[in-house]
Amino acid sequence: MYNTCFWALVDKGGMSPQDAEKRLSGTLSADKNELLFADFGINYNDEPEIFRKGSVLIRGKELVDVPDSQGVVTKRTHGVVLTLHCDIIRDKFWNEHPEILRGKPTRAERRQESRAQRARELAAQDAAPPS
């Protein structure tokens, strides 16, 4: 919220960065909400999440088609970096991504995940129409 107020004061309000910083010094969220709405007609809750919550990068996996030397395509997992624009303070994020706090999985967890992933890959292959 600070950044939204700061740049509104600078870009739309014509303040210098130093004056905008002084204006916002010591303000609470309610003060910033009032400033945005009263001075600039901006409802902070209507701003896109990317501006309200910022960005977080996490490791993820996706299924990709991998052809072998005979041209047979199989599904494999591939590591990717995901950019999320969400609230990482609330429980929803942590419930959806427990692996972040859990740390490195145990050998048994890796084996179990590997078996489950292979089963998903085989199921995806079986469901795919023949080439």
Mean pLDDT by 10 residues, the chain (131 residues): 93 95 94 94 90 87 87 87 89 86 76 90 80 61
Q: What is the pLDDT of residue 95?
A: 87
Q: Which DSSP symbol is given to 46?
A: G
Beta bridge partners of 19: none
Cβ atoms of 108 and 89 within 8 Å: the answer is: no
Q: Please tell me the pTM assigned to this model.
A: 0.53
